[in-house]
Amino acid sequence: MNAWKPVIGLEIHAELLTESKMFSACPVVDSVEAPPNSAVDPVSLGLPGTLPVINARAVEFGLMVGLALNCEIPPLNQFARKSYFYPDLPKGYQISQYDRPLAINGWLDIDVTPESGEPYSKRIRIRRAHLEEDTGKLTHVGGASLVDYNRAGVPLLEIVTEPDINSAEEAESFGRKLRAILQYLGVNNGDMSKGVLRMEPNISVMHSSDTAFRTRTEVKNLNSIRNVFRAIKAEVERQIKLYESGDTVKQATLGWDDVKQRVVIQRYKERADEYRYFPEPDLPVLEISREQVEEVRAHLPELPDRKRERFEREFGLTAYDASVLVMEQAIAHYYEGVLAEGANPKSAANWILGGLFSVMNANDVPREEIEHTRISARQFAALVKLVDEGKLNKGAATTVLNSMWTEGGDPAQIMEAQGLAQVSDTGAISAVVEQALVANDAMVQRYLNGEEKLFGALVGACMKALAGKGDPKVVNDLLRRALDARRG
Ligand code: ADP
Ligand code: MG
């Protein structure tokens, strides 16, 4: 098994969040929600006599992504016709870019946590990013096929990596980081389940004795990053098995069967596709001035890496904690909202990563849904403050958090209603400690005779007597004092 190394290149298609389509003023609508064919016009239908016009906002969005991915922006861009027939492509060709793409030669650094072994960082080269238009959508019902052209002509950015990715884990962390960058830039909402963002891995395996790449397959229709991960795992395993049994891998396009958790072969590729690319005669060569590039660069928002560095520097978070907080834009946004409500940055980070994430995991709620939960940033900040002020201990705060999650509400009110307020009053705690020591006399004697490790059990006995609400620090101090007094 170790003799084989996966080789993976990703092709990513991201619909751009422009108001109008790539080559006309036709509005862009949610292609899952909107009634079929409610957003079409002569240009997106490819009617004869229509002329395309380049969407300047789409170019700007493409430049933002290119620069965020450390690409060079060539001064001349050209659109090209990619000819093929498909019912969802009414013109008989797709306007794309071929030998003069928008952005080339970039890279993205990723942090990888492998299944076994140490975490590491790695640079994945970006070959190119180019603009094109999306196709329509076919739905097959019974014996008929229905076509919806709402999506036809929606601006699409295709991003292609070099085959630098060598495991499913690396592909997953690349996918997550790229998605975060697109979200931070505001050019794509990252919703893979709706097909607004699509990631297609090209997969082959290399034997340790190989000097060249082997035949690759390509997996389509993956509706989540988790499925990109699973499909790569399954396909790598399938290819290794084939080679080890003396067989070969045939170049093919595969799909992913989410129910059976396996790849399915959709079609074999007998020979290279012949798209007969040629320059789009209806569009001018697009010049990208250096001023425009610098203008776009100067206005890039804070991207995940920079935000992570700032969280580390300003708030003293660990690199790991900061990276988890920034990797999903919704989480970063929530965290910053909690801080804006006055919570301590370090405590807030701990309570999001520990408390909130475990509740979300237990309820199977994905992290990007954080803002649709019952707990507002203000209420979460209030909870963190109650802990920091010593009004709630950790266990009681977890109980309050669970109530906030299931029923919603203000943490202080929940604390009062459930009688969870922490007892820090030294008089009250002293009294309970004394009772607990009397009740556990045998243990106290053993402790005094040198069994120091019984201290923990005695703390437990005191906490139990305080119904779990004692301030742990005060309990520890007073217990230690009471025991010392008994040593005489
Ligand atoms: P094209 O589709 O234009 O022919 P390539 O085949 O060179 O372009 O690359 C398409 C994608 O497949 C890229 O992401 C590239 O990194 C990846 N790729 C190319 N060769 C291999 C290979 N042998 N194994 C895995 N991925 C590959
Ligand atoms: Mg393409």
Q: Which of 13, 200, 216, 251 to mutate to test the pocket of ligand 1 (most atoms within 8 A of CB)?
A: 216
Measured in Å, residue 126 CA sits from the centre of ligand 2 at 15
User: What does the block give as tokens for 92?
Assistant: 């008989």
162 pocket-lining for ligand 1 (C-beta < 6 Å):
yes
The count of residues in the chain is: 488
Q: How high is the pLDDT of residue 421?
A: 80
Query: What mean pLDDT is predicted for residues 362-387?
Result: 93
Amino acid at 11: E
Q: What is the mean pLDDT of the chain?
A: 94
Measured CA to CA, the distance from residue 282 to residue 277 in angstroms comes to 14
Q: Distance between CA 142 and CA 467 in Å, rounded?
A: 63
Give residue 59's identity as a one-letter amino acid code: V
Residues, CB-to-ion distance under 5 Å, ligand 2? 158
Provide the 3-class DSSP secondary structure of residue 328: coil
- 7 Cβ closer than 6 Å to some ligand 1 atom: yes
E-assigned strand segments in 113-258: 120-133, 137-141, 144-148, 155-161, 197-207, 217-219, 252-257
Residue 32: pLDDT above 70? yes
Q: Does the C-beta of 96 come closer than 6 Å to ligand 1? A: no
Of 334 and 115, the one with more pLDDT: 334
Residue 366: band (very low, low, confident or very high) from pLDDT cuts 50, 70, 90: confident
Kind and range of the H or E run holding 4? strand 4-15
Residue 249 one-letter amino acid: V
CA distances from 121 to 237, 305, 315 (A): 25, 13, 23
110: β partners = 122
Cβ atoms of 370 and 330 closer than 8 Å: yes
Q: How far, in Å, CA of 463 to CA of 295, rounded?
A: 61
pLDDT tens column, 417-437:
888 887 778 888 888 899 999
pLDDT band for position 473 (cuts 50, 70, 90): confident
Ligand 1 proximity of 160 Cβ (cutoff 6 Å): yes
Q: What pLDDT, on the 0 to 100 scale, is given for residue 116?
A: 87
Residue-wise pLDDT tens digits, 134-157: 999 999 999 999 999 999 999 999
Segments of 136-283 assigned E as strands: 137-141, 144-148, 155-161, 197-207, 217-219, 252-257, 262-268, 278-279
Which pLDDT score, from 0 to 100, does residue 353 have?
Answer: 96
From the list 458, 433, 459, the residue with the least C-alpha distance to 443 is 458
Does 1 score more than 70 pLDDT?
Answer: no
What is the pLDDT at residue 251? 94
Q: Is the CB of 11 under 6 A from ligand 1?
A: yes
- Contact (CB, 8 A) for 8 and 165: yes
* Ligand 1 center–CA 203 separation, angstroms: 8
CB 367 within 8 A of CB 357: yes
Residues 285-328: tens digit of each pLDDT = 999 999 999 999 999 999 999 999 999 999 999 999 999 999 99
Which pair of tokens denotes residue 483?
């025991």
Measured distance CA(361)–CA(376) in Å, rounded: 18
Each domain of the chain, given as residue ranges in start order, spans 4-293, 304-417, 426-487
At residue 469 the predicted structure's pLDDT band, cuts being 50, 70 and 90, is confident
pLDDT, tens digit, 9 for 90 and up, residues 80-92: 999 999 999 999 9
Record the tokens describing residue 225, joined without a space. 């990053």
What mean pLDDT do residues 113-131 have? Answer: 94
**For the chain, what percent of residues have pLDDT higher than 90?**
84
| Residue 274 binned pLDDT confidence (cut-offs 50, 70, 90) | confident
Q: Over range 188-207, report the average pLDDT.
A: 96
pLDDT attached to residue 428: 85
**Dihedral angle of Cα 159, 165, 170, 175, to the nearest 10 degrees:** 10
User: In this structure, which topology does domain 426-487 adopt according to CATH?
Assistant: Arc Repressor Mutant, subunit A (1.10.10)
Distance CA 359, CA 224 (A): 22
Amino acid at 293: V
Q: In this structure, which residue's CA is closest to atom 13 in ligand 1?
A: 9
Which pLDDT band, with edges at 50, 70 and 90, does 124 fall under? very high
Ligand 1 pocket mutation, candidates 10, 69, 125, 160, criterion most atoms within 8 A of CB: 160
pLDDT band, very low/low/confident/very high, at 465 (cuts 50, 70, 90): confident
Tell me what the mean pLDDT of segment 246-275 comes to: 89
Counting atoms of ligand 1 from 1, which one is nearest the CA of 202? 26
Q: With 80 as the cut, is the pLDDT of residue 120 above it?
A: yes
In the reported structure, the alpha carbon of residue 201 is separated from the centroid of ligand 1 by a whole-number distance in angstroms of: 9
Please tell me the residue having the least CA distance from ligand 1 atom 15: 9
The answer, yes or no, to whether any atom of ligand 1 lies below 6 A from the CB of 177, is no
Choose the weakest-confidence range: 67-76, 94-103, 442-451: 442-451
pLDDT at 487: 81
Is residue 96 very low, low, confident or very high in pLDDT (cuts 50, 70, 90)? very high
Does the Cβ of 161 fall within 6 Å of ligand 1? yes
Distances (CA, A) of 146 to 141, 152, 225, 416: 7, 14, 28, 59
Strand partners, 254: 219, 265
CA distance 5 to 326: 30
- Please compute Rg for the chain using Cα positions: 29
CB of 351 closer than 8 Å to CB of 382: no
Does ligand 1 lie within 6 Å of residue 126's CB atom?
no
Q: What number is the average pLDDT over the span 254-281?
A: 89
Q: Please state the rounded mean pLDDT for residues 234-254.
A: 97
Closest-lying ligand 1 atom to the alpha carbon of residue 215: 23
